[in-house]
Amino acid sequence: MFAETTSVAMLGAEPKPVRIEAHMGGATFGFALVGLPDTAIREARDRVKAAIVTSGKRLPQRYMTVNLSPANLPKAGSDYDLPIALAILSADRQITPHARPVVGVGELSLDGTVLRSRRALAAAVVAAELKVPCVVADHDAVDAAQVPGAEIWPVASLAEAIAVVSGTATPRAIPASAVPGPDARGPDLAEVRGQAAARRALEVAAAGGHHLLMTGPPGSGKTMLAARLPGILPKLTDEEAIAVACLWSAADRSRPRVDEPPFRAPHHTASVAAIIGGGSGVPAPGEVSLASRGVLFLDELGEFPVNLLDALRQPLEEGKVTIARKGCTVTYPARLQLVAASNPCPCGFLGDDRHPCGCTPNSIDRYKHRFSGPLLDRFDIRLFVPQPQPEELLRSEGEPSAVVRERIVRARELALSRGALNRDLSRRRLDELELSKSASRMLRLALARGMLSGRGLDRVRRVARTIADLDGSAAIDDSHMGEALQYREAA
């Protein structure tokens, strides 16, 4: 006798349906699991047998063969316990042969309790595509319910899941207390006192999706500014939020605020695999992928290893990262906005008029040489952030994030009407931009003086277009170009 149900596996950040096929063989008792299972899945044999018995069902005394199809798709984790148990009971006809098709995920405890799964949201995506119900643990129902069009059935035990598949269960609503309410207000830009130039640069960076490097002495507010960037970015659409949540689930993480652009701030001691992605078996996404559609913040940039900083160059340019392991190659998105903060010298006080710098010229040179030219060239906006003046710290709060976000949303709508964010404009599209005569003259003069590389030319024009969009201007004039060039000249 044969039966099947459906579960899910992650191929990179993309949910893929997995057919759980069960076959009852001869009279000899046995249990075989095939289809490229890892160690955790192979151990499902013992968990499933115990859960079936403690749920009041009979363990089939026949040779059970369970196949996870397609066999060439790597599968990992204990999330397949629930669909394996359902497939076995269906094949043994302890569940009606006309049971409804479902997509299920969840680890089973020995008493039949369905435990939380890291792939619940991915399972809901597959269920919505197949137009069948999705059976998940109670604790996963809220996450899974984020998927538009998904029919979610939360269950507490294998017995309850059997009732759902048999069609005898009454739909159980997701508890209202578990549904997340409006997000608490995150860090607000209004809390930043003074720093008008830095606030302006942050707004330009947010409007165009540009990479930003802030250099300045300790305590000038660089980290505080970076932490407030997600709050002025447009909220994620439903589609974007689901894509980011699936990516995080591939890394065994959950997102508490699904519509907020992700913000990642790894420590400088993180390994290359942690930042770029990797690991044994199926490579896991790194910080560059977890920050996709959001912000990756590297504080104390000079403390990061040189090889790690250079490894960032390709993901920043291509918007994706491909990780190859023996028998497995995975591509993860890395469409992120990089924000970095650095001290100007080892002691941090170079250029500070209130604290003298105690570094030697040689130590300053060695410190600056940690940043390769190609990496620095990828920052569209480079800004020196000085210590705020005492009178600035005593001023009232500035514009809140919500007000700034409205301007950024309008600027992004103008950019997207041209087909892409300004940071992604191709050279052909850049050549078609409308520049005033004075703006063109400024650009040619900067090229003649050797201030810009070929990549720098493109990046200046992209930033100038963003500044023009914030002003609501159809053409780039000299004020827009002058501000963009100033951001390239800054340390």
Per-residue pLDDT tens for 115-141? 999 889 999 999 999 999 999 999 889
pLDDT of residue 179: 41
Residue 405 Cα distances to 227, 280, 292, angstroms: 15, 41, 19
In whole angstroms, give the CA distance from residue 8 to residue 105.
Answer: 7
> Do 458 and 427 contact (CB within 8 A), yes or no?
yes
pLDDT band at residue 181 using 50, 70 and 90 as cut-offs: very low
**Residues 388-403: what's their mean pLDDT?**
83
pLDDT band at residue 324 using 50, 70 and 90 as cut-offs: confident
Percent above pLDDT 90 for the chain: 59
End-to-end, the C-alpha distance of the chain in Å comes to 72
Q: Residue 348: CA atoms inside 13 Å, Cβ hemisphere, count?
A: 13
pLDDT of residue 98: 58
- 120-134, 184-198, 236-250: which is most confident: 120-134
Peptide bond into 218 cis (omega under 30): no
In whole angstroms, give the CA distance from residue 179 to residue 35.
Answer: 37
**Residues 160-174: what's their mean pLDDT?**
84
> Do 67 and 98 contact (CB within 8 A), yes or no?
no
> Do 121 and 216 contact (CB within 8 A), yes or no?
no
> Do 289 and 321 contact (CB within 8 A), yes or no?
yes
In whole angstroms, give the CA distance from residue 244 to residue 237.
Answer: 10
- 227-241, 278-292, 359-373: which is most confident: 227-241
pLDDT of residue 490: 56
- For 69-103, give the secondary structure using H, E and C: ECCCCCCCCCCCHHHHHHHHHHHCCCCCCCCCCCE
pLDDT tens for residues 1-41?
A: 899 999 999 888 889 999 999 999 887 889 999 998 888 89
Rg (C-alpha) for the chain, rounded Å, is 27
pLDDT band at residue 411 using 50, 70 and 90 as cut-offs: very high
Higher pLDDT, 178 or 90: 90
In whole angstroms, give the CA distance from residue 97 to residue 463.
Answer: 63
Determine phi and psi for 165, rounding to 5 degrees.
-65, -35
Mean pLDDT value across the chain: 89
Closest CA to 481 of 471, 465, 490, 1: 465
